[in-house]
Structure 1
Amino acid sequence: MPGLFGTFGIRGIANKEFSPDLAYELGLALATQLGNEGKVAIGYDIRTSSPMLEHALTSGITSGGCDAVRLGMVPTPVLSFGTKHFSCDAGVMITASHNPPEYNGMKFWDEEGAGFVREREDELEQILEEGGKSVEWDEIGKSEERDAISPYREAILEKIPKFDREMKVIIDCANGAGSNLYPQILKELGCEVVSINNEPDGHFPGRPPEPTPEHIKELSEMVSSSDADLGIAHDGDADRTIIVDENGKSLSGDRVFALAAINYLREKENPRIITTVATSSVLDDAAEKLGGEVVRTKVGEPELIREFRKNGGDLAGEENGGVIFPDWVYCREGLMTDIQFIDYIARTEKTVSELDKTLPEYKQLKKKTDCPEELKPKVLEDLSQKLSDYNPDRTDGIRVVFDDGWYILRPSGTEPIFRCFSEAKTEERAEELADEGMKFLKESLKSVKQEN
């Protein structure tokens, strides 16, 4: 069976897979990991179960001798910012990100506001299994409420100058954690802002929290039928951005990342962009325009920061529209991504579609097949042998690169499945690559099952 932690953090159905008891035990385990002293920042998104889980988590943290600094309902980037701003030893964000409303979860952050790396998550899980350490009655930690939103807003407005010209922006907040804050900051930076789905509501009545093209049709229609310069869509905890151009077409997360990088790094010499093995080649095209390089890591936000801390870098991000600006905060930052896009348009006086056309088009396909957890390592090893002539990249799964495209075969970190992603400049070639990858995957799965 897979461990408690997925690619980053823990998620499950609230009150079933993710209960108040588990939240308490995680709080106690975290306090134990910190040596039963120090401060922990706690934030949560708008899900109906979040306040309940915050109470339980706070009890575990204070029972373990640590102080709880409760930031209330905030976007994930504000929790990251607040952890460092209030000199906390760790942070916890109660969120299930883009998952449906019945889910909730937790992500853990270090003293610099970066997500726990795998080793630290594993250590926390080990403490959880063994049982955390409670303290004596006179060593119980304190619990206090603090405002992280005001200093975050002030820091953003101090860092970012007003845009060169007024831009009309339609922002879809998904009734999520950024609903009140992000539209207001964009107004203060000089935008004309129209907000939809901007009343915080854990039932997500406006649309599902995952900003897919299917889910943001209302935004697309509003942008295309008005004189808006662009549309912006966030997920539930507001750490990711999807952009809609002036014609109502939504850009993939890869392209959002690539265009944000071109604007943000335009004056940087030989910039180093960190991304994962699952991200589009459009990042390589962006790096070439900038005279920089792309470094690829394992999948997961903490892996990007691990590489940044080890070897340096100027920007990091994933294929889902999550971009990390390391000179700001060490987590994916929806608002800063918004700002880079608006600035790019205002500065160049080009439309989103015109900027999008400066990068090559790519077609992507995603396929999957069932694979029992216990067979995943053996399937990977068998694939490695079958594909050895291709000299595959083994950073995370098996990535095979050709002159005209690539595919990656990778086991899910949270489900009993194996995935195949492919990319090429034509749909036909992307299909061919996906079919080849799935053929090898099914052959390996069949042979491994026969051996076992």
Structure 2
Amino acid sequence: MGRIFGTNGVRATINDDLTVDMVLNLSRAIGTVLNGTIAISRDSRMGGEMFSRAVVSGLLSTGCSVIDLGPMPTPGLQFMVPRLGCIAGVMVTASHNPPSFNGLKVMGANGIEITRETEGLIEDVFFEKSFTIAKWHDIGSVQSYETAISDYIEGIKKHVDVPAIQERKLTVVVDGANSVGSLVTPILMRELGCKVISLNSQLDGHFPGRMPEPLPKNLLDLSSVVRSVGADVGIAHDGDADRATFVDKDGTVLWGDQSFALIAVRVLNKKNGSTLITPVSSGRLVEDIADAADARILWTEVGSVVVSHKLLETGAELGGEENGGVFYPPHLCARDGAMTAAQIVEIMAIENKPLSELVRGLPTYFSTKIKVPVPADKKSLLLEPILEITSDLDRITIDGVKLMYDDGWVLMRPSGTEPLWRVFAEAKTQKEADELVEKGKSIIEEAINKI
């Protein structure tokens, strides 16, 4: 990570670590480095309009022009950037973070988040304050683009079998998390012939309906509504709608890798020798699906930006994360919650099966995640002793250390923002997953004592 940019953009608490002055200067740095016409958008978070105006001012001052798309999902902005011929895009969002956060995501001319190298150049300009200052006659202009959401919806529909979904007449409950997913997914589902019930659909940066992270504990209302109305499926987005989490007709929340696996089965089997890009945090379920389709997996570090760039580099057929983020390159080499939702209802329609039955056809695994606090001064030093401790074990060391066993695995990797290491484990039983996560914790504690 950089000095300002984290694993996916800049995020901090509003009017505390993230101030108008900071956003203004960061936007001046973005305009200085990228220099051209830049599209902007935002989600529903508090401070979104305030920071958006600071972004516009900073970009204009460097001679950049701005196309303001208004509020829409991050993948909507990413979809529109190349289609509008923009040099870049800036999204004001903090994705799934708590309500007190906001931030910026920056994407290049292809709609994909900028490289770490470009982030470094922007940080250099920011700290050196070496901003481009346009002459009075070279100051940029601002224009609005009113049809971005409809263009984006039409782009998604091109990649699914619309008549098949329309014929099925599914009932769908959409939980937009009081944010911009509500501007897209309910409309998309209606145009796909679904009966739609909207939940938490009013835009409100306080997130009164639920927290923006679509975790099972935050989706109790969605599960209840799905059961009560007899809906076929529930769809929940995070704050900027680049992910979708699903609830079956019984109110059960699917794990992200389950929905990812359902899509992977369909996509990977369309072409012999397909390639799947996924982080080391993904589990055995994805490996099983890839093996069955005779597809290869390319593992990456954890982070959606890494997956996007690896998709561009390799031309792979699909990317995905265990948190439910799905990357479908024919549409966009970035995760997209609305596209994922359309693919899931398409699978339900074509297979003519409820979501619960589709999931029952997948291999079953159990997982556990914990956080292990570490002294801040030792956090970055732990990898070397962990590598020493695990030197005789089957492992992957792309991002942290992932130990591979016959019936499961355990991943140990440092947090990008906190003084702790995260431990993920997966196995064929919950007991085995719990034991593996404790093994990972013990290895970290042993490593701490070696420093």
- TM band (smaller chain): over 0.9
Aligned to 1:138: 137
The TM-score with structure 1 as length reference comes to 0.95
Provide, for residues 308-363 of structure 1, a one-character-per-residue CA deviation record: whole Å limited to 9, x for no partner. Answer: 22222011111111111111112211111111111111111111111111111111
Distance in 2 separating the partners of 1:392 and 1:3: 30
Aligned to 1:19: 19
Aligned to 1:98: 96
Displacement of 1:296 = 1.0
Distance in 2 separating the partners of 1:355 and 1:253: 14
Output the amino acid matched with 2:151: P
Displacement of 1:3 = 2.6
Displacement of 1:228 = 1.3
Displacement of 1:49 = 0.6
| Residue correspondence of structure 1 range 328-347 to structure 2 within 5 A | 328-347=331-350
| Residue correspondence of structure 1 range 4-403 to structure 2 within 5 A | 4-34=4-34, 37-131=35-129, 132-147=131-146, 148-160=148-160, 161-162=162-163, 163=165, 164-403=167-406
Task: Let me know the Cα RMSD of the aligned residues.
Answer: 1.5
Answer whether contact 2:394 2:405 (CA < 8 A) is retained.
Answer: no
Q: What secondary structure is seen at the aligned counterpart in 2 of 1:285? A: helix
Output the amino acid matched with 1:23: V
Provide, for residues 198-249 of structure 1, a one-character-per-residue CA deviation record: whole Å limited to 9, x for no partner. Answer: 1111111111111111111111112123321111111111110111111110
Displacement of 1:377 = 3.1
Displacement of 1:291 = 2.4
Provide, for residues 394-419 of structure 1, a one-character-per-residue CA deviation record: whole Å limited to 9, x for no partner. Answer: 10011111111111110111112111
Distance in 1 separating the partners of 2:68 and 2:99: 22
Task: State the number of aligned residues.
Answer: 446
Following TM superposition, the consecutive aligned residue runs of length 4 or more in structure 1 with deviations greater than 6 angstroms are none
Provide, for residues 135-192 of structure 1, a one-character-per-residue CA deviation record: whole Å limited to 9, x for no partner. Answer: 2222211122113113212333344323141111111111110113210111111111
Answer whether contact 1:10 1:107 (CA < 8 A) is retained.
Answer: yes
Distance in 2 separating the partners of 1:63 and 1:43: 18
Answer whether contact 1:112 1:330 (CA < 8 A) is retained.
Answer: no
Distance in 2 separating the partners of 1:343 and 1:323: 15
Q: Report sequence identity in percent.
A: 40
Output the amino acid matched with 2:9: G
Output the amino acid matched with 2:47: S
Do residues 440 (structure 1) and 438 (structure 2) align?
no
Output the amino acid matched with 2:90: V
Answer whether contact 1:180 1:199 (CA < 8 A) is retained.
Answer: no
Distance in 1 separating the partners of 2:184 and 2:313: 33
Provide, for residues 42-68 of structure 1, a one-character-per-residue CA deviation record: whole Å limited to 9, x for no partner. Answer: 110001210100000111111111111
Answer whether contact 2:268 2:290 (CA < 8 A) is retained.
Answer: no
Distance in 2 separating the partners of 1:395 and 1:250: 30
Answer whether contact 2:300 2:307 (CA < 8 A) is retained.
Answer: yes
Distance in 1 separating the partners of 2:7 and 2:158: 34
Output the amino acid matched with 1:137: W
Displacement of 1:269 = 2.2
Answer whether contact 2:72 2:183 (CA < 8 A) is retained.
Answer: no
Output the amino acid matched with 2:23: A
Structure 2 residues without counterparts, runs of 5 or longer? none
Displacement of 1:391 = 4.1
Distance in 2 separating the partners of 1:112 and 1:221: 40
Output the amino acid matched with 2:18: F
Output the amino acid matched with 2:154: E
Of 356-365 and 134-143, deviating more is 134-143
Distance in 2 separating the partners of 1:54 and 1:442: 44
Distance in 2 separating the partners of 1:300 and 1:212: 18
The TM-score with structure 2 as length reference comes to 0.96
Distance in 2 separating the partners of 1:215 and 1:403: 34
Distance in 2 separating the partners of 1:183 and 1:64: 38
Structure 1 residues without counterparts, runs of 5 or longer? none
Output the amino acid matched with 1:389: D
Output the amino acid matched with 2:41: G
Q: What secondary structure is seen at the aligned counterpart in 2 of 1:179? A: helix
Q: What secondary structure is seen at the aligned counterpart in 2 of 1:138? A: helix
Provide, for residues 249-287 of structure 1, a one-character-per-residue CA deviation record: whole Å limited to 9, x for no partner. Answer: 000111111112223344222221111001121111221
Displacement of 1:86 = 0.7
Q: What secondary structure is seen at the aligned counterpart in 1 of 2:277? A: strand
Provide, for residues 10-48 of structure 1, a one-character-per-residue CA deviation record: whole Å limited to 9, x for no partner. Answer: 1111111111111111111111112xx311111100012
